[in-house]
Amino acid sequence: MHRIIAHIGDAKCGSSAIQKSLKFCRLELEEKFSLFYRTGALANHALLISLIGEQTSEDPAMIGSRVDEIVDDIRQTLAITGTHIFSAEHFLKIGPKKFSEILNRIGFEDYLVDVICYIRSPDGFYLSSVQQQFKVGGRYTTPDKFARPVSSWLDDWKMHPKTRSLTVKKFSRDALLNQSVISDFDSEVCNLVGLDSLNLPERRANETLSAEQMVVLQWFRLEHLPKHDRLRHPESKKLTRFFFNMNATGMVGNKPELIPAVRQTILDNHMNSFRKISKNYGLEFELLRGSSTNASLYQDAKRPDEESVDGILAILDHELVEDLKRIVDTAYKRFATSNWLTPRSLKRDLMRKYRVENTQFIGALRKYKKEINLAQ
């Protein structure tokens, strides 16, 4: 019988960091502990959902060969006795029945699954998910329409006949071992397989944009990439890398925060689900300590595809938004022919106004320019 450890997410709960850590020490895990984490050239198993007809945000033309590579990589370990680790934040939502279909397609027949899942408060999840949505388009889910039946998804996993155990953990620094999701995951896997430590290394993943950078990223998708909605695009990746490089020694702009009415709407939409999670798994969430204020909740006054994200953000420096737009417009339209990164006065103003170090700011711009020029 095969033993499967399924890390099923949730999204925005450190999944990318866990996956990068597992991939980094894959050979050592196999040699020392017979723990197999095979993903082809990727770091996670997200594309495997395409085996059962589920859609991903990747270019459909590229998916087939990459999925075949992952499946071939995994099949090489089927004849070896050991534990197989799967990790993808999509697994929580697609559920255990479809996950079993994926395993069957790969070639697993006789197996049981130990499930590990991290859950975060819905308001924090919402902000992170909006950032993620802007990487693939200019539209986002408005707060009144944002509701995720997390407790029902967990119940499905818990009750499935192939599930041997289900571990649900709160994703927050105070609840994680050593304030690290990687250390915590390492410990949970060891508890399941009877080891002391896997020594998984720390890995960074999915840095956070400032509120102003979120607004500019949405604007960029709508302004420059309107025909590529709901698909990842290399120009979006370049822009987010530019922002991350700009933030290397400190976030440029304000930390994203929701206006109170929006936050309360999201909490109200998830109150019953998180009460069940708290009761079933012994987790405490701040949203359960109070009740709805019933005060001026968010009203969807515009169609979602016309909604600007600045309407849900509590703190926003509009001058910085316009400055960043000027930089991006200059870069995207003129870098290929211009010898100047941006006008000198603009560079000086930005560094002075937003306390961006000269080397940090210029370095980020030069990397951005190089990426754009290479694509010409």
Question: Does residue 80 sit in the same domain as residue 37?
Answer: yes
Question: Does residue 184 sit in the same domain as residue 222?
Answer: no
For residue 280, being part of any structural domain is answered with no
Question: Does residue 165 sit in the same domain as residue 229?
Answer: no
Burial-class residue 60 by CB neighbours within 10 Å (0-12, 13-18, 19+).
exposed
How confident is the model over 112-159, as pLDDT tens digits?
999 999 999 999 999 999 998 998 889 999 999 999 999 999 999 999
| Domain termination residue (choose one: 163, 193, 223) | 193
For residue 306, being part of any structural domain is answered with no
Q: For residue 110, what is the domain's CATH number?
A: 3.40.50
Amino acid at site 318: H
Given pLDDT bands bounded at 50, 70 and 90, which one contains residue 354? low
Q: Is the pLDDT of residue 304 over 90?
A: no
For residue 157, being part of any structural domain is answered with yes
pLDDT at 225: 86
At a CB cut-off of 8 Å and minimum separation 6, what does 230 contact?
Answer: 57, 136, 137
Q: Is the pLDDT of residue 306 over 50?
A: no
- Give the C-alpha separation, 106 to 98, whole Å: 13
- Give the C-alpha separation, 11 to 150, whole Å: 11
How confident is the model over 7-33, as pLDDT tens digits?
999 999 999 999 999 999 999 999 999
pLDDT at 58: 67
For residue 335, being part of any structural domain is answered with yes
Question: Does residue 177 sit in the same domain as residue 216?
Answer: no
Which residues span the domain enclosing 101? 2-120+148-193
pLDDT at 336: 40
